Structure 1
Amino acid sequence: MSRRSSPLLELTLCRAKEFIREPEAVFWVFAFPMLLAVALGFAFREKGPDQIPVGVVAPAGDAASRAAADRAVTTLAGSPVLLPRRYEETEGREALRTGKISLLVEMQTPPVFRFDETRPDSRIARLEADDALQQAAGRRDALQVRAEKVTEKGSRYIDFLVPGLLGMNLMGTGIWSLAFSVTNARNRKILKRLVATPMRKSDYLLSQILGRLGFLIPEMIVLVGGGWLLFDVAVRGSLLLLTATCLLGAMTFCGMGLLIASRVETMEGASGLANLVMLPMWLLSGVFFSSERFPDVVQPVVKALPLTALNQALRGVMIEGSSLTEIALPLAIVAAWGVACFAVALKIFRWR
């Protein structure tokens, strides 16, 4: 007499095969994050900063001012930061208004700097232009300083980006794949048929999560390994801890995907709810830039988001070489979200 297979095992294998047979799903899980990392890595590769465009004008009909403007262009061209260009007065003001230049220098007596102080590049251009013109006029620095340029692994944008992309990918694939898979099964009446089988609700929901986790290691190898091969992005901490962190994050977002799909009847509804859940985390959780840039008043909300906590833990392991105790708090936040979402999904899930 043959032994009966475990419902959980059979459902997990079924979910894994279903995923493999979807080329578009394989692309979004493995190829897309790698392509995004490569594109952004080359865009923000190690190179000198781009020169800031600066305009120089002089009042029409004033020969002395126009000669001073020509000398100013030559002086500013000696700065490695600035890219000066001579304009007529009206043309220069229009270039500043439309953002073609970051600073407009009007060679009057005294010279006038026109710039938008809310733009960081404009403030930098103003300081650099003032320094160059002052030195050309004979100013000497009372204090001599020595600058040392530092470029280390962990301080580059690509080092910051790869953990964020890994967290974003874990969120996107966990929520999208499960929300759509369960909703699609409900639409095709597959869930209705499964009710008649010797299977518990928890078996079905756990199989969805386990089927997704089976692709976690290849996903990590593609993104983390690609970052190491192409951009020398190192993992300073424990690979085992990094894997465990990814595993916890994947399970949490799978639980969120199950919660979204627990009552939704249409693919449009699942898509809308998934976007509603993920959009705040895309914007606030520090995938492409630090979440510390947001005002202090919203920081408690930002730090409570599961993707923020996951990205913090991933960057702690990869960039800072943090230990388990050092990332215990963000991991606890991620775990709390996962337990809560799965428990609620198990409670309110319906087959039809």
Structure 2
Amino acid sequence: MNSLTPMLQLVVCNLKGFLREPEAVFWTYGFPLLMVVGLGIAFSSSSASSVQFDVVQGPAAEKVVAAVANNPGFKAKVNPQDVAMARLRTTRTLVVVAPSEDGGYQYYFDPSNPESMAAQSAVDDVLQRSAGRKDAFTSKQVRVEAPGSRYVDFLVPGLIGMNIMGGGMWGVGFVLVDMRIKKLLKRLLATPLRRPHFLLTVVGTRLVFFIPEAFFLLLSAYLIFKVPIRGSIFAIAAVAFVGSLSFSGLGLLSASRAQRIETISGIMNVAMLPMWLCSGIFFSSERFPDFMQPVIQALPLTQLNNALRAVILEGSSLFSQALPIGILLAWAVVCFALALKWFRWG
């Protein structure tokens, strides 16, 4: 027999084993494809390809808007100065244009963000040309490098939200399925422990970890990168707690009937993938087309990230975040109720 035959058979056997593992196939082929599609939508849509900038409300605003009105490559929004600067800090706009004292314009932008720098140059160019000639006025660049307005400041709350999501779902879902595999849940079935009490203890155990998950990363970012913490510690903790509660409920629901580690891994990856892509972890969720926004804004991670950024970076009060917190609580209640209905011990 040819010595290559056993090797070929082993290769075929390994390939069959690979194809029988849905998780391996998904992470090898499915996940990269979905990332390409999702990021392609975010960065290749018409709204993302155009230069989006804010104009400070005032007499000069109409002139700036008129200069780019017929140019599809630019999208200007007129806002009061405080609103425009808040949008710049949260990367919802790339540049803020305001009138300068000498009759020209000054540009507020983040020099650490390449897109922001490119947008400033493009906006300046189109305004210069609309004035009739190149450099018809003196423009000023105002580099916004203060803590709270940089890309790293935008990124940290998103990473905290992602960490809370992963910890809540994996910390509950994996533990439950592992207990089911080891027949520990069937042993608990023989005890007087009621199902709601057991599920609440699982969620309660998970909630103990939300404090180190949220504050370790935030404290590290504060010490290393000087990321500002403008909101109260209580408000940050409350938002993180509600977010952890929401994702613990989602993890509970995901694991309510899963019998294998591969199954729960696939379920949670499918649940988390849209939020990884669309919920504003690495870039603003407003990059996606308008028709997708209702679905994106309904995702729990979107609301958690929005609330964390508002409290941490803008110093917003806990009461001002009633809508995001309400949506997170709704997710927690609905997921726990469905998990309680569908949960199986065996």
Same fold flag (TM > 0.5): yes
Find the counterpart in structure 1 of residue 270 from structure 2: 276
Runs of 4+ aligned structure 1 residues displaced above 4 Å come to: 123-128
Q: Which SS does the other structure have where 2:136 is aligned?
A: coil
Cα RMSD of the aligned pairs, angstroms, is: 2.5
When normalised by structure 1's length, the TM-score is 0.61
Mark the runs of 5 or more structure 2 residues left unpaired by the alignment. 1-113
Find the counterpart in structure 2 of residue 234 from structure 1: 228
Matches of 2:134 and 2:178 in 1, distance apart? 73
CA positional deviation for 1:124:
6.8
Find the counterpart in structure 2 of residue 325 from structure 1: 319
Matched, 1:145 2:166: no
CA positional deviation for 1:143:
1.9
Matched, 1:341 2:335: yes
Alpha-carbon spacing, 1:309–1:196, altered in 2? closer, same or farther (3 Å):
same
What is the one-letter code of the residue matched to 1:317?
Answer: V
CA positional deviation for 1:120:
6.8
Matched, 1:288 2:266: no
Mark the runs of 5 or more structure 1 residues left unpaired by the alignment. 1-118
CA positional deviation for 1:126:
9.7
Percent identity over paired residues: 51
Matched, 1:248 2:235: no
Choose which of 199, 205, 209 in structure 1 pairs with 2:203: 209
Q: Deviations over 1:211-251 (max 9, x none)?
A: 11112222223111100110011211111010011011001
When normalised by structure 2's length, the TM-score is 0.62
Matches of 1:150 and 1:328 in 2, distance apart? 30
Q: Deviations over 1:28-50 (max 9, x none)?
A: xxxxxxxxxxxxxxxxxxxxxxx
Matched, 1:191 2:169: no
Q: Deviations over 1:141-171 (max 9, x none)?
A: 3322333323222111111111001100010
Matches of 2:212 and 2:222 in 1, distance apart? 15
CA positional deviation for 1:125:
12
Matches of 2:150 and 2:251 in 1, distance apart? 33
What is the one-letter code of the residue matched to 1:150?
Answer: V
Higher alpha-carbon deviation: 306-315 or 323-332: 323-332
Find the counterpart in structure 2 of residue 166 from structure 1: 160
Matches of 1:290 and 1:318 in 2, distance apart? 16
Matches of 2:257 and 2:209 in 1, distance apart? 26
Alpha-carbon spacing, 1:127–1:284, altered in 2? closer, same or farther (3 Å):
closer
Find the counterpart in structure 2 of residue 52 from structure 1: none
Higher radius of gyration, 1 or 2: 1
Number of aligned residues: 227
Matches of 1:189 and 1:286 in 2, distance apart? 39
